[in-house]
Structure 1
Amino acid sequence: MSTPKVLELDRAGIRRARSHAARLGKPVVAMATSHTTVSVERATLRLAGLSGADHERVPWVNHLVDAVRDQVGIEHGVTTPVWDALRRDEAPDLLTLAQKASAGAVTFQIPEQKGEATRARRAAMAAVRPGIRRIDRQRAARDKQIARLGDPKQRPWIYLIVATGDIYEDIPQAQAAAREGADIIAVIRSTGQSLLDYVPEGATREGFAGTYATQENFRLMRAALDEVGKELGRYIRLVNYASGLCMPEIATLAGLERLDMMLNDSMYGILFRDINPIRTFVDQRFSRQIHARAGIIINTGEDNYLTTADAVDAAHTVTVSQLMNEYFGKEAGLEDWQLGLGHAFEINPDLPDSFRMELAHALLARHLFPNAPLKWMPPTKHMTGDIFKGYLLDGFFNLAGAMTGQSILLVGMMTEAVVTPFLSDRDLALQNVRYVLNSAGGLVEDFHPPRDGFIQTRARHVLGEAIALMDEMSTRPPTRGWSPLLEAIADGTFGHMKRPADQGKGLEGVARKADDYDNPATTLLEEGK
């Protein structure tokens, strides 16, 4: 699908908006690079090959990082004391070390002699490098499969969710959806997993309102989609969630098992899960560095703002968040084609001209980010349980996607407000998408709203409000001593959620880096080695 170039916007204003995004983002990046978290350190140990869990399903990476933190802290990085302990023969290998540490049978230290510290760091680098190399091989394997099987011939890509709670039930549903035309399968994550400060181990069958994100579940679904992709002659993409308290670890596991997209928004966990802002920004930077290396497309969460704030009044906050996600993503190494920035069809359908405003908002996003694979989200807030009206609303959503050149279209369900969708619901939803795209997909070439008409004027208005908000955020006097973006988040600027930087879940897992901090994974990711 071609990208429409039908809006006439103030180019100087767009440049000013991106300049504001950089000004707001730089202090946050400085904060992220000067801190580490327990999840960043656990992700590094996972790259070194540490996996498995005890009889109570507590992962060994948690045991090992907790033991290091209790004895010497994590501000130096955990790899130096861990590989120093291995060099001192505290244990013969990493797994045994973690097991002994869980029983309090290991003494950790920060080597005082420079030579000892250097040798521990070299050993850690040698252990972590194979994990990064495996991510590289998985990216190459994806490219090879796409070259052999091909990508979907049309855009937008059709994105469909499965979420039974049981990975072995998800697999046949995902394969059936691919056979019916889905290009992307998202395994929605079990409710509440974002608040777990550990990653469950193994294949799981008991998720509530979704399926747990685990390495084994990733592996099983990836294999199933590869199988059906060969059958259909096209590559089927797999999505999961790199968010919450274990964002870096889940991103790492996704890279190791060749997932293709990850929900990875810079502020979603802060606003909607009350995760500490500092923890979130530190974790998201590492996770996005992993995504950049793995060739994973991120999906951001701007659609969520419109479920707690009005989609008309708060439209400009979506644009601001998109610009911030773009800045943070590119700073972490993501390219334009990996920036699946979010927006949504959430205006009250009873409002006059609601569809015209939806077109304006969708075109604005498409115009501001012409090379990004935007993720267009279906109506949810105003789905009432009237499945006939819901089916019509989803048809309008699909039509807006066709007219405005969206890249990733999440399939809306007419039973959104009633029940978790059955296979028959998904089949009807896919029929709706196919009908609209087959009959109206070319409208992107013909749709040119008048220069000073309603749609152009609305898009300019939203952009102007976004620039004004970023102006205000950049210049407001700090009242708490935090960076301007953190002040704005604390004030409830996004989604009407007030989240102070000194509160929220996971703050106890954050540490300011010491001068001798070392993390071989970060070094390899930043140096591209």
Structure 2
Amino acid sequence: MVLRQRSVLELDPAEVKRARALARQAGRPVVNLAKRHTTVSVERATLRLAGLSGADHERVPWVNHLVDRVRQDVGLEHGVALPVWDALRRGDAPDLTTLAQKAAGGAVTFRLPEGKDATAAGKAARTAISRGVRTIDRQRATRDKLIARHGDPKQKPWIYLIVATGDIYEDIPQAQAAAREGADIIAVIRSTGQSLLDFVPEGATREGYAGTYATQENFRLMRAALDETSKELGRYVRLTNYASGLCMPEIATLAGLERLDMMLNDSMYGILFRDINPIRTFVDQRFSRQIHARAGIIINTGEDNYLTTADAVEAAHTVTVSQLLNEYFAKEAGLADWQLGLGHAFEIDPTVPDSFRLELAHALLARTLFPDAPLKWMPPTKHMTGDIFRGYLLDGFFNLVGAMTGQGILLVGMMTEAVVTPWLSDRDLALQNVRYVLDAAGGLTEDFHPPREGLIQTRARQVLREAIDLLQEIVDDAEETGDPALLAAIADGTFGAMKRPPTKGKGLDGVARKAPGYLNPATDLLSEGSDR
């Protein structure tokens, strides 16, 4: 899906290679840390792959009840698979749902099996969990068949548009209308605060603040509706939601089971902007990305958010550093280049001299560093003032940069951004803006070649050098302390001007260090399939 173009930035190949090598050095200790730990959400996601769903009369999911009871009885250091399937083999319950119900009422006690009992429990767990992985495989195959049948959008970048009513039954007609007006990707914004819930709500939801809850049933309903619209329009319409927050692994799993196509999944967003514990986040994001890799889901990273809290010129290099780290973490988890919707944004203050040329430099730098990635280009938000005419013009400039630099995913900017929740008519005008610019200037990728020593080339090289310097600083700190220095950099406010120490933050109590003999067939199955 990537808009390929000749590299128009003359970057030093040695510097590009060095930047990636430093990102690996900075990221590797964090990956090792993630491999040594599990979380309550990873274990709940494992049970969801085995088919456990539903909730009690107070809407507490059965996966939460079951994991909490196992943790109470034997801890999570060995994972939930062995004690859960040991209980099933011993006849404590005929199935997972009944076992979870009995666990919620305190009517079952779990043990950690040993010897032949452990071997048998592990084998039974793998058999059950593999059924969920096969469902994800079938959904991926179904997507491929539908794309072959209906076709992909003819024009790129893909046009990405948001719906956010709070009511899934209102979201559906708005999403279908947006697709008919030209949107290629529908993003259902998640209800404010869901990222801080340590459970996934059940069922179709009709109440949400500034968005709609991410649930398996909501995923199913919207995917079915967009399948109908894809057939009607003769092009496959993609669906996006959010795999972030305290339930990142579970939501990623539900997305794979229900054939979502893209998920917002950033390695540091939850840490910086939701104050979720860094260790919890890195453990959860690795599992979630293994799910995405298996499901053929494109991730969208959140570097654009840094520029809402830090200056877009001064902090430009931190965006590049985060993109390089996100690339490393994603590939280590099994994602391919075509699945890396690395984020960046048009957020320079428009009163800054040469702001448009600087935006071009930053966008071209990302396009040149990641030529095979479907980069996600985000519209101006920070400097939208409520003047809708000025905002509409800014969005036009944003769309022009997207056209000139060959971005892969273009999020539709709204002239009423930061003023009101956009009306359908606002979205229609915004789509007209996008279509006009792409139709009139979409071929500029072939003609646009900034001068060798001009501002754009010079600025891009400067940002890359600053990114390399920052990565080198992170790596040097690691060599001095012996600790994962990326965690120290996050604690110091390096990214987005947010300081988040590894010993604090929401969800830390849900992290467990793996013991010898830890077993999770889900991670084994996903690792085995990571080379697809």
TM-score by structure 1 length? 0.99
Distance 1:499 1:482 in 2: 16
Counterpart for residue 386 of structure 1: 387
Distance 1:4 1:237 in 2: 28
Counterpart for residue 26 of structure 1: 28
Distance 1:487 1:105 in 2: 45
Question: When the two structures are aligned, how many residues end up with a matched partner?
Answer: 528
Distance 2:259 2:521 in 1: 22
Conserved in 1, the CA contact under 8 Å of 2:4 and 2:372?
Answer: no
Counterpart for residue 449 of structure 1: 450
1:294-324 CA-partner distances (Å, limit 9, x unpaired):
0000000000000000000000000000000
Distance 2:6 2:101 in 1: 57
Conserved in 1, the CA contact under 8 Å of 2:55 and 2:62?
Answer: yes
Counterpart for residue 40 of structure 1: 42
Counterpart for residue 350 of structure 1: 351
Shift of residue 338, structure 1, vs aligned partner? 0.1
- Is 1:209 matched up with 2:227? no
- Is 1:63 matched up with 2:100? no
- Is 1:307 matched up with 2:311? no
**RMSD, aligned CA:** 1.0
Conserved in 2, the CA contact under 8 Å of 1:480 and 1:487?
Answer: no
Shift of residue 478, structure 1, vs aligned partner? 7.3
Shift of residue 524, structure 1, vs aligned partner? 0.4
SS in 1 for 2:148: helix
Distance 1:272 1:497 in 2: 8
1:113-171 CA-partner distances (Å, limit 9, x unpaired):
x1000000111111101100000000000000000110001110000000000000000
Counterpart for residue 82 of structure 1: 84
Distance 2:23 2:481 in 1: 21
**Structure 1 residues 477 and 513, CA, compared in 2 at 3 Å: closer, same or farther?**
closer
Counterpart for residue 218 of structure 1: 219
Q: How does 1:34-183 map to 2 (within 5 A)?
A: 34-112=36-114, 114-183=115-184
Distance 2:117 2:519 in 1: 14
SS in 1 for 2:38: strand
1:483-502 CA-partner distances (Å, limit 9, x unpaired):
11111111110001010001
Conserved in 2, the CA contact under 8 Å of 1:166 and 1:204?
Answer: yes
**After TM superposition, which residue ranges in structure 1, 4 or more long, deviate above 2 angstroms?**
1-4, 476-482
| Equivalent position amino acid for 1:49 in 2 | G
| Equivalent position amino acid for 2:417 in 1 | E
SS in 2 for 1:245: coil
Question: Which runs of 5 or more structure 1 residues have no equivalent in the other structure?
Answer: none
Conserved in 2, the CA contact under 8 Å of 1:65 and 1:78?
Answer: yes
| Equivalent position amino acid for 2:42 in 1 | V
Distance 1:500 1:96 in 2: 40
Counterpart for residue 502 of structure 1: 503
Shift of residue 528, structure 1, vs aligned partner? 1.8
Q: How does 1:98-497 map to 2 (within 5 A)?
A: 98-112=100-114, 114-476=115-477, 482-497=483-498
SS in 2 for 1:388: helix
| Equivalent position amino acid for 2:439 in 1 | N
Shift of residue 481, structure 1, vs aligned partner? 6.1
Shift of residue 326, structure 1, vs aligned partner? 0.2
SS in 1 for 2:307: helix
Question: Which runs of 5 or more structure 2 residues have no equivalent in the other structure?
Answer: none
Counterpart for residue 14 of structure 1: 16
Distance 1:477 1:523 in 2: 30
| Equivalent position amino acid for 1:214 in 2 | T
Conserved in 2, the CA contact under 8 Å of 1:2 and 1:445?
Answer: no
Distance 2:508 2:436 in 1: 48
| Equivalent position amino acid for 1:83 in 2 | W
1:24-61 CA-partner distances (Å, limit 9, x unpaired):
11111100011000000000000000000000100000
| Equivalent position amino acid for 1:250 in 2 | I
Distance 1:507 1:178 in 2: 40
Distance 1:347 1:111 in 2: 58
Distance 1:252 1:3 in 2: 35
Conserved in 1, the CA contact under 8 Å of 2:343 and 2:375?
Answer: yes
| Equivalent position amino acid for 1:99 in 2 | Q
Distance 2:440 2:16 in 1: 34
Distance 2:342 2:525 in 1: 27
Conserved in 1, the CA contact under 8 Å of 2:478 and 2:484?
Answer: no
| Equivalent position amino acid for 2:198 in 1 | D
**Structure 1 residues 327 and 526, CA, compared in 2 at 3 Å: closer, same or farther?**
same
1:410-458 CA-partner distances (Å, limit 9, x unpaired):
0000000211111000000000000000001111111000000010000
Shift of residue 476, structure 1, vs aligned partner? 2.2
Conserved in 1, the CA contact under 8 Å of 2:146 and 2:236?
Answer: yes
Distance 1:477 1:448 in 2: 40
Distance 1:423 1:471 in 2: 47
Shift of residue 482, structure 1, vs aligned partner? 3.1
SS in 2 for 1:244: coil
| Equivalent position amino acid for 2:226 in 1 | L
Distance 1:2 1:106 in 2: 58
Counterpart for residue 5 of structure 2: 3
Conserved in 2, the CA contact under 8 Å of 1:181 and 1:430?
Answer: yes
| Equivalent position amino acid for 1:471 in 2 | Q
SS in 2 for 1:357: helix
Shift of residue 88, structure 1, vs aligned partner? 1.0
TM-score by structure 2 length? 0.98
| Equivalent position amino acid for 1:388 in 2 | F
**Structure 1 residues 4 and 424, CA, compared in 2 at 3 Å: closer, same or farther?**
farther
Q: Percent identity?
A: 81
**Structure 1 residues 528 and 477, CA, compared in 2 at 3 Å: closer, same or farther?**
closer
1:211-258 CA-partner distances (Å, limit 9, x unpaired):
000000000000000000100000000000000000000000000000
Distance 2:178 2:285 in 1: 31
Distance 1:67 1:482 in 2: 33
Shift of residue 480, structure 1, vs aligned partner? 7.2
